[in-house]
Structure 1
Amino acid sequence: MCWLAGTAMIAAVPAAAQDPKAPVIPPVASLTDGMWMKGDLHLHSRHSTDSSNNPVSAIIGFAERNGFDFLAITDHDNHVQGDVASHTWRDPEFRSDRVVLLYGAEWTTDRGHGNIFSARPYDHQKLYDLRDARDAKILAAKQTLGVHLSANHPAAGKDHFGFSYDMVDSIEIWNSAVWPRNAATLLIWDDMLRSGRKIAGRGGSDSHHGVPPSPDKATRNSAEATANYVGTPTTWVFAKARTPAAVVEALTNGRACVSANPRGPRVEFYGDRDGDGQMDMMMGDNVRASGKPVHFVVKLTGGVVANASYRVLVIRDGQPFGEFEAKGEAPVASFEDSPAADTRSYYRVQVEGPQTPYPEVPNSMPLSGKMVGLSNPIFFNFDPEF
């Protein structure tokens, strides 16, 4: 294993030099066809009765002013008896020419909470009416509706996700600016990944209130009320187009990462399967392992703190694999491993370091601690045919 810092170049022997007859490994489509977009996938407006000072126009206006690319306003469905279409979606303020808006809601049940994401309006009432049904019936309805189901805050006590994880497309691995209460969620996620479930990880601020006051003007003690707003944390997706369908598709396929806030560095995670120094896969991708070494690269893009050193922790199959340093204006870390040809394996990344200031929501920074960002995994042999 090795690590590199401050450079994007990887020292590798070209495949052709190793074997002149070696076939060129083409990059997967996700690596060469897309754009990075940032957003928030868990927000509550005035249509949730436990929300305050947070009209739809305020949420979208804040996102537009601060350069967000997409949003999912996910109001509680039980507050409107399942009829989110007549409330959040038909609110005249639910529109934007600059931010991609997803259709969704927080599926709020006695067995836990989940967020629904869709590129188009769907009949949410059908899911609300099945909130106490058996998992198989819920899964069938979800598939018929063609929506994305995400498990919300799965380690959050009474509101943890209590349904089968065979139903879900993603897990909320980072809920709100308060990082420490999310650590247990990573254990759940790794359990699901080790079992062979290819489930994406995402973030969500779970904001219920208006723009928080600055630290010297805070009048409420609740961390939620004073530190959470759009982008705490921020989910990034590598989407094929700037459309709702492309955002949902990228999230579903794990082409996504999470950062503490939109001003902080984005964690990009790539793999080079033939050693030619060119990345040919990225997080979310799943390929057949050859048993030969794979060169992995972690890049921290944009928003890095000057002269900072970042700790890059690599997790392989739920266990620590290695720690690496990344620093400089464009921090990079690299390592090498040989995924087994005959078993499933995955690699994911956690990044710790100083928080990049988020002046619009200043109270969020100390609550995130040292956690700067999380990647989705790169997978090997996860498809049944492997």
Structure 2
Amino acid sequence: MKVSDRFGGVQLLAAAALALCGAPAAARDDEPNIPPVASLGDGVWMKGDLHLHSRHSKDSSNNSEATIIGFAEQAGFDFLAITDHDNHVEGDVAHHTWSDPEFRSDRLVLLYGAEWTTNRGHGNVFSAKPYDHQSLYDIRDARDAKILALKKKLGIHLSANHPSGKDHFGFSFDMVDSIEVWNSVIWSKNAEAVMIWDDMLRSGRKLTGRGGSDSHHGTPSSPDKAGKNSMERTANYVGTPTTWVFARSRTREGVVEALTNGRVSISANPRDPRVELYADRDGDGKMDMMMGDNAPASGKPVRFEVRLVGGDVADAVYTVRVIRNGEKFGEYEARGTNPSITFEDSPGARERSYYRVEVEGPQSAYPEVPNSMRLSGRMVGLSNPVFFNFDPRF
């Protein structure tokens, strides 16, 4: 459920807030109906991987659910989505991936999901509870409107996978809640995906950017058939990249809600710094928004703060690049342990705008997947946007 859905019917409160901020009090028909943002203090950071394949995908090797889950538990992850291809089991993931006795953990939140594999591209489904995936598979090549109606009926989160290149998402982005902007350990192949994300954001779609390793093969230490896929196993496995969510509870519902709301950032691996983006929209010196939040703009200056939390590279120097409405806004240097930087801008009172962050620098070591560092390059992480004047009705 989106933050906007939890706080419906607040048009009068939004108008009053605009008036208090100094914006014109007269309401306009085209003003967005923006609900208040959620609390910044009520939540917990969780890290996980949202695109993984087990032996139930025919193109996967040496990668049982027990192997994936055991690795993630030992590496300190909090949640996983094992998203096997539904076409490999004719849509029946419920009696394959989910019913596998290995689909269990006392330490991880395991989402229900699958990779929706169609002639028009691929998407991942995420859900806090079992749902009728067979019905979604059965209409995989139907018109978008019919698919969207079923998606709403099922109450699932649908995400566009690897939106550029082979198997790109060929459906309307009005159907999805998020987009995979970072697929696999190789950051350089995701430039077009990020460009598509910015295009969708500029169009007024409030879509969460998320990551996924898309790992198909076993752990770096396990043997495989005739040595095949050895590079992928040692470079691309659970957490390359890692998706972080700020969830209201350490539950399936908490993870899916945070993902839908955009309280999300991505790091190249779980040891790299987590990128956090906040904003003080009313000038009281306290941060009252974070990535994923949407608020009315008064036209007055807003102070933003970027925090890099974690990371273990001594004397690291990071480059923080701020993107405003798809264009580079500024570049800043952050150094030291858990560094932060601030910047200021004045979002237009009558304009839709968003701010997001990309961070480059030295990679933290991820010894469990030893070759991942050199394939990620210098891309350490990115945030989801802070939004102003995005209308949740559309």
Answer yes or no: same fold by TM over 0.5. yes
Alignment correspondent of 1:141: 150
Alignment correspondent of 2:141: 132
Q: Conserved in 1, the CA contact under 8 Å of 2:321 and 2:332?
A: yes
Q: How does 1:195-214 map to 2 (within 5 A)?
A: 195-213=203-221
Does 1:362 find its partner at 2:370?
yes
Residue from 310, 316, 330 that aligns with 2:324: 316
Whole-angstrom distance in 2 between the partners of 1:247 and 1:66: 19
Residue from 101, 112, 123 that aligns with 2:121: 112
Residue from 253, 275, 279 that aligns with 2:283: 275
Name the aligned partner's letter for residue 355 of structure 1: Q
Whole-angstrom distance in 2 between the partners of 1:207 and 1:95: 19
Which secondary structure does the structure 2 equivalent of 1:262 belong to?
A: coil
Aligned-pair CA distance for 1:385: 7.4
Alignment correspondent of 2:302: 294
CA, structure 1 residues 308+248, in 2 after alignment: closer, same or farther (shift >3 Å)?
same
Does 1:353 find its partner at 2:356?
no
Which secondary structure does the structure 2 equivalent of 1:32 belong to?
A: coil
State the Cα deviation string for residues 271-306 of structure 1 (Å, max 9, x = none): 011223211100000000000000000000011411
Whole-angstrom distance in 1 between the partners of 2:339 and 2:323: 19
Q: Conserved in 2, the CA contact under 8 Å of 1:176 and 1:224?
A: no
Aligned-pair CA distance for 1:384: 5.6
Does 1:153 find its partner at 2:153?
no
Alignment correspondent of 2:60: 51
Alignment correspondent of 1:254: 262
Residue from 216, 232, 235 that aligns with 2:240: 232
Alignment correspondent of 1:264: 272
Whole-angstrom distance in 1 between the partners of 2:39 and 2:162: 28
CA, structure 1 residues 211+277, in 2 after alignment: closer, same or farther (shift >3 Å)?
same
Whole-angstrom distance in 2 between the partners of 1:133 and 1:304: 49
Does 1:121 find its partner at 2:125?
no
State the Cα deviation string for residues 14-39 of structure 1 (Å, max 9, x = none): xxxxxxx989xxx9424121000000
Higher relative contact order (CA 8 A, sep 6+): 1
Alignment correspondent of 2:293: 285
Whole-angstrom distance in 2 between the partners of 1:355 and 1:183: 19
State the Cα deviation string for residues 120-152 of structure 1 (Å, max 9, x = none): 000000110011100000000000000000000
Whole-angstrom distance in 2 between the partners of 1:160 and 1:296: 34
Name the aligned partner's letter for residue 350 of structure 1: E
Q: How does 1:16-31 map to 2 (within 5 A)?
A: 28-31=37-40
Name the aligned partner's letter for residue 48 of structure 1: S
Q: Conserved in 2, the CA contact under 8 Å of 1:196 and 1:344?
A: yes
Whole-angstrom distance in 2 between the partners of 1:125 and 1:347: 38
State the Cα deviation string for residues 91-148 of structure 1 (Å, max 9, x = none): 0000011100000000001100000000000000011001110000000000000000
The count of residues paired between Structure 1 and Structure 2 equals 359
Does 1:78 find its partner at 2:75?
no
Q: Conserved in 1, the CA contact under 8 Å of 2:37 and 2:294?
A: no
Alignment correspondent of 2:9: none
Name the aligned partner's letter for residue 349 of structure 1: V
Q: Conserved in 1, the CA contact under 8 Å of 2:21 and 2:298?
A: no
Whole-angstrom distance in 2 between the partners of 1:46 and 1:385: 41
CA RMSD of aligned residues (A): 1.8
CA, structure 1 residues 174+109, in 2 after alignment: closer, same or farther (shift >3 Å)?
same
State the Cα deviation string for residues 242-261 of structure 1 (Å, max 9, x = none): 10011000000000000000
Structure 2 unaligned regions, length at least 5: 1-19, 23-35
Q: How does 1:92-111 map to 2 (within 5 A)?
A: 92-111=101-120
Name the aligned partner's letter for residue 361 of structure 1: V
Q: Conserved in 2, the CA contact under 8 Å of 1:283 and 1:378?
A: yes
Residue from 172, 175, 194 that aligns with 2:202: 194
Whole-angstrom distance in 1 between the partners of 2:230 and 2:64: 20
Q: Conserved in 2, the CA contact under 8 Å of 1:220 and 1:226?
A: no
Does 1:375 find its partner at 2:375?
no
State the Cα deviation string for residues 139-198 of structure 1 (Å, max 9, x = none): 0000000000000000123x0000000000000010000110011111000000000000
Alignment correspondent of 1:8: none
Whole-angstrom distance in 2 between the partners of 1:324 and 1:87: 48
CA, structure 1 residues 223+289, in 2 after alignment: closer, same or farther (shift >3 Å)?
farther
Q: Conserved in 1, the CA contact under 8 Å of 2:217 and 2:229?
A: no
| TM-score scaled by length of structure 2 | 0.88
Which secondary structure does the structure 2 equivalent of 1:71 belong to?
A: strand
